[in-house]
Chain A
Amino acid sequence: MATPEQGIDWAGDTGQVSRLRGVAFEVTCLAAVAFALVSVLVLLLYVSADALRPFSADPGWHLVFFLTLVVPSVSAALFYYRRDEPAGEVAYATTGLPVVGVLGAAVFAVVLDIELVTAVEMFALLVSALVAAGIIAAHARYRPRAAAERMAVLFGAPVVTILGVPPAEVTMALNAALSALGLSIEFGVRLLSLREVILLTPVVPLQWIMVALSLTVPVGAVLGGYVARVRANPRAGLAFVGGAVAVSALAPLVGPVVGIGATGWILLVTFCLLPVAVYVEGVIRRREGIAGLTFPLILVGGVVLGALLADLFGFAPPDPWLDWSFLTSAHSRTPAEAGFYPPIVGSVMMLIVIALSTFPVGVGAAIYLEEYAPDSGLAGKFITLVEINIGNLAGVPSVVYGLLGLALFIRVLTMPTGAVMVGGLAIGILILPIVIISAQEAIRAVPDSHREAAYGMGATRWQTTRSVVLPQAIPGILTGTILAVGRAIGETAPLLMIGAASSVRLAPSGFFDQLPAMPRQIFAWSTNLEPEIRHGVLAAGVVTLLVVLLIMNGTAILIRNKYQREV
């Protein structure tokens, strides 16, 4: 008779040693993951503690907020995780969307503040762009077959309405060239564009009205159109637009009361309220995860209640380094007064340069490589070479790109040292390969059968690309681009190479001004040995940068998840 001790060796009794070894191996592997995550997490906690100084507050303050904010939000999160996964996603989105919206509003507020673009210019540009689009659309409608003519209209209409004939820059360059040749002839005769006519109009309404007209109305109209379409009800769209206008009209009343001014209110409505409204509308319409909508309310309610209670009991709040004045003032030698405003503005302006320079080129290159490039013969070999080259460029150290920027833009093209434009272009070249590769992946993910269907209908290559491939690839392209731009914001070495100044006290107001950038300022602070800088101002700068990155990456991942679910 077989006893377990003797006979049944297949049940694993003899495998003690090998089982132990297996467990030890699994634990080692898990420990490796834990090491990678936890070591950085601990460092992040340290730097956040330095920046926010939570222990400078009364314990009672912590207790109050623990009870009003942490307990409710954590229990809500746990509930979503266990019971209602769609709600968790809705909670994530409805919390994140306003944050992203506020960030967008802040960017625009800064743009208006430094007068990079004024409200009137924005309005004039919008109106003339709309007129140009109208002309193009009308031409397409009434002369659908005149393709050559349409090319002319496509390029001509914007010139007439936006640039003027000839464009002011061309006239200026011509006059400059003439005076350089010693001729005193000036070409003053030109046909003003619609935009310039509007700008010449002496009557300028209040700023908030201009912003509302040029931002809120178009955004509201587009979103309203979307609502009308998904609800199959034009009235819902009209109601949406009406609501948007009504809320905007409250600006002169509410704005000053809340403390952000009428223009601030308009920006908040445009970037935050309207998108959130559309998202919430979608959640309610789909009846999926409605419970998640309570999450932001829990957060806001917790904060308000906590603040009231702490005030009531007289608990002192913490005194963080990272506070409002840090975000809105310039660098100072006194640590307590040092701020991060110019670097934030500089980074945002650099981001604009990076996005505008890499996105079109990167996506264009990806389209060419995936949709147009031959894959056999001599040309095919050349294309393979290009692709290998792009892969390798993605791994070239950033400091080399900085050197390229220095040599090309500053020494050859003689742009000013350390200008916003130079920094943006140098880092733009750095992330270009990453943008190309991720866009290629997104385009490759579009099934071939859709391309074949389009070609089989007699679509040309461009028509197939534009109407079939790009609409499906665009979420993936956006995700990749946002991640790449996120990387770009933190790049420091190229900035040092192009000679970005260590501390700039004035926010740039043009693209050829001196570039203050977040990572550059952080590096400058890191060379300072004062403990108040090292464990205070520096930490606050690091946390600000990381929060911006976290928001960007979170947005990218949100887009990707939504897109993956749909495919």
Chain B
Amino acid sequence: MTNENMNTAASTETQPSATADPTSEPLVEQSISVDNTSDRTTVDGETVIRSKDLDVFYGETQALQSVSLEIPENQVTAMIGPSGCGKSTFLRCINRMNDLIDVARIDGELTFDGKNVYDEDVDPVALRRRIGMVFQHPNPFPKSIYDNVAYGLRIQNRDVDMDAVVEESLKKAALWDEVKDRLDESALDLSGGQQQRLCIARAIAVDPQVVLMDEPASALDPIATSKIEDLIEDLAEEYTVVIVTHNMQQAARISDTTAVFLTGGELVEFDDTDKIFEDPESQRVEDYITGKFG
């Protein structure tokens, strides 16, 4: 495996936009997927999120094709693949952020702790209070550091010791020592890496079960990135982390399980990270990982 190739593949990718630009590639490849795709959809560990034959359409374009996989509890699961492969779309299905896009249509089943989140009776607001999210670009509110972390507690009217939770969340996000003396200052005065850790603190302050991360380090410099990566590994002790990344080294470093999406929104392979990176079943995955394709 040559690292140079992987780097090029990762860095030349363009960032998928927030509205998840649908695949620009024609969908001709779908027929060949059956043969060389690993049919494995589970890995060891208790399943928290299970998707079964999940299809997503943006208007006429299909963004995900019949995706089935099971995300294990308290582990880091990485979603990798080229731009527009549907990895971010899948992430946004989990906490129903796609609901905010009018034209999105979802078929199939996606269960969280055994409950299909697309059932009629599920309240996306309540769901998102259980499944936190961290975005590609740090997006703290233009409020104080304290108010950012306390935001979720306030909107949920949590009857807790606010100061204690804020402190604990900032500690878990490895930010406490840097900001403890200036909690009243604007969050926008922090550096990019600090802002992203603040966003992580904000997400875990409400104590979710799952934390979704959409390329959380792609807008950051290498040092800030490595801090975020360390943090993610620590978080996995308490939370189930699902992370989308186009940086394969990052996926290899921090994840326990990896899902590889390729163009057309199909899940090509899903397995233990070591297995994916050392001995992938699918030739296409191997090509992608070694930089021949993507």
Contact = CB atoms under 8 A, between A and B. Distances in A.
A447 interface: yes
B135 A458 contact: no
Interface stretch (A22-30, A51-59, A402-410, A449-457): A449-457
Contacts of A374: 102
B137 A472 contact: no
Interface string B178-200: 00000010000000000000010
Given A144-B157, A376-B103, A460-B125, A450 B139 contact: yes
Contacts of B164: none
A457 B132 contact: yes
A110 B103 CA distance: 55
A454 B155 CA distance: 9
Interface in B119-154: 125-130, 132-133, 135, 137, 139-143, 151-152, 154
A452 B202 contact: no
B202 to A, nearest CB: 7
B102 A375 contact: yes
Which secondary structure characterizes the binding site on chain A? helix
B97 interface: yes
Interface string B83-106: 000000000000101001011000
Given A232-B184, A374-B102, A380-B102, A458 B139 contact: no
Contact of B203 (A232, A452, A456, A471): A456
B157 A456 contact: no
A448 B102 contact: no
Interface residues of A, number: 27
Contacts of A144: 157, 159
A452 B102 contact: no
Q: How large is the interface on B (under 10, 10 to 19, 20 to 34, 35 or more residues)?
A: 20 to 34
A471 B140 CA distance: 14
Contacts of A380: 102
A455 B127 CA distance: 11
B75 to A, nearest CB: 21
Interface in A23-80: none
A377 interface: yes
A456 B135 contact: yes
A336 B103 CA distance: 69
B177 to A, nearest CB: 20
Interface in B9-65: 18
B206 interface: yes
Contacts of A389: none
B156 interface: yes
B128 A467 contact: no
A450 B141 contact: yes
B102 A376 contact: yes
Given A449-B18, A450-B139, A472-B142, A455 B100 contact: yes
A375 B59 CA distance: 13
A456 B100 CA distance: 11
B226 to A, nearest CB: 24
Contacts of B125: 458-460
A107 to B, nearest CB: 32
Nearest to B137: A449
Contact of B18 (A232, A448, A467): A448
Contact of B202 (A376, A455, A457, A472): A457
Contacts of B137: 449
Contact of B206 (A454, A457, A471): A457
7 contacts: A447-B139, A452-B133, A454-B141, A457-B133, A457-B151, A458-B125, A467-B151
Given A376-B102, A453-B140, A456-B132, 20 more contacts: A144-B157, A144-B159, A145-B157, A229-B184, A375-B102, A449-B18, A449-B135, A450-B139, A453-B135, A455-B100, A456-B95, A456-B97, A456-B135, A457-B203, A458-B126, A458-B155, A458-B156, A463-B155, A467-B154, A471-B142
